[in-house]
A and B are shown apart, each in its own frame.
Chain A
Amino acid sequence: GQSLEQPSEVTAVEGAIVQINCTYQTSGFYGLSWYQQHDGGAPTFLSYNALDGLEETGRFSSFLSRSDSYGYLLLQELQMKDSASYFCAVSLIGGYSTLTFGKGTMLLVSP
């Protein structure tokens, strides 16, 4: 099976930078995704890494190290609206690949 570990909660202030870490244990790893969820609403896709390195999308960046089974989501210039839960998820090698999600990290952004 697969297991993912991420912190349960992170707090930060507006304008700051925050990093949410994710470590995973799985066989047949293919890629790591990040999702955002506000107040139990629909999870929305943020980013995906299949190769080592940094992917940047606006204020959000995601990093993957396959050798360390580790990734992180970096949020810059934090805004109040970034307060949400953030989930990492692994996908596996294979044509019919599903996503296995971590338990999520609740980010609280204060003024």
Chain B
Amino acid sequence: DAGVIQSPRHEVTEMGQEVTLRCKPISGHNSLFWYRQTMMRGLELLIYFNNNVPIDDSGMPEDRFSAKMPNASFSTLKIQPSEPRDSAVYFCASRSSGSTGGELFFGEGSRLTVL
């Protein structure tokens, strides 16, 4: 079974450019999470979808960030315009409703560098 698939794995862009990160959750999982990881702040939850509906977006830093989940097998995280402080590793994770409360399946992450 394929795990959570994220693309791109690495992105280098210039300040002001639009960035779109993509995620394909594990088939059958109905919850999807976007996390951001930096040395200073660790793993931070950005947004959480359940059955394609955004449930908690309180972690989205500001209006420059937006996330969508148009169907059960695809989600995007968009940053427009990007800034150097957005440089981080962005992880997507999914969970089945039948799993234990603590088990998330993470993708390999998208490493974003904004110059």
Q: Are A42 and B108 closer than 8 Å at their CB atoms?
A: yes
CB distance from B47 to the nearest CB of A (A): 10
Classify the secondary structure of A's interface with B: strand
Chain B residue nearest to A42 (CB atoms) is B106
Q: Are A42 and B109 closer than 8 Å at their CB atoms?
A: yes
- Indicate whether A103 reaches chain B with its CB closer than 8 angstroms: yes
Tell me the chain B residues, 8-53 only, with Cβ under 8 Å from chain A.
33, 35, 37, 42-43, 45, 48, 50
Task: Please provide the 8 A-B residue pairs with the shortest distance between their CB atoms, ordered closest to farther.
Answer: A33-B102, A48-B102, A101-B43, A42-B106, A103-B42, A45-B103, A91-B101, A96-B55
**A26-40 to B contact mask, C-beta < 8 Å, 1/0:** 000011110000001
Indicate whether A40 sits within 8 Å of B101 (C-beta atoms), given known contacts A100-B45, A101-B43, A102-B42.
no
Q: Are B89 and A101 closer than 8 Å at their CB atoms?
A: no
**Residues in chain A near residue B101, CB distance under 8 A:** 30-31, 33, 48, 50, 91, 97
Tell me the chain B residues, 51-100 only, with Cβ under 8 Å from chain A.
55-56, 89, 91, 100
Q: Are A91 and B102 closer than 8 Å at their CB atoms?
A: yes
Report how many residues on chain B are interfacial, defined by Cβ distance under 8 Å. 25
Q: How many A-B residue pairs have CB under 8 A?
A: 64
**Residues in chain B near residue A96, CB distance under 8 A:** 48, 50, 55-56
Chain A residue nearest to B108 (CB atoms) is A42
**Residues in chain A near residue B45, CB distance under 8 A:** 98-100
Chain A residue nearest to B111 (CB atoms) is A40
- Indicate whether A43 reaches chain B with its CB closer than 8 angstroms: yes
Tell me the chain A residues, 55-111 only, with Cβ under 8 Å from chain B.
87, 89, 91, 96-104
Q: Are B50 and A33 closer than 8 Å at their CB atoms?
A: no
**B33, B100, B105, B109: the one within 8 Å of A98 (CB):** B33
**A30, A32, A98: the one within 8 Å of B48 (CB):** A98
Q: Are B109 and A32 closer than 8 Å at their CB atoms?
A: no
Question: What are 24 contact pairs spanning A and B, CB under 8 A?
Answer: A30-B101, A31-B100, A32-B102, A33-B101, A40-B111, A41-B108, A41-B109, A42-B3, A42-B4, A42-B91, A42-B108, A43-B106, A45-B103, A48-B101, A48-B103, A50-B100, A87-B42, A87-B43, A89-B102, A96-B56, A97-B101, A98-B48, A99-B33, A104-B43
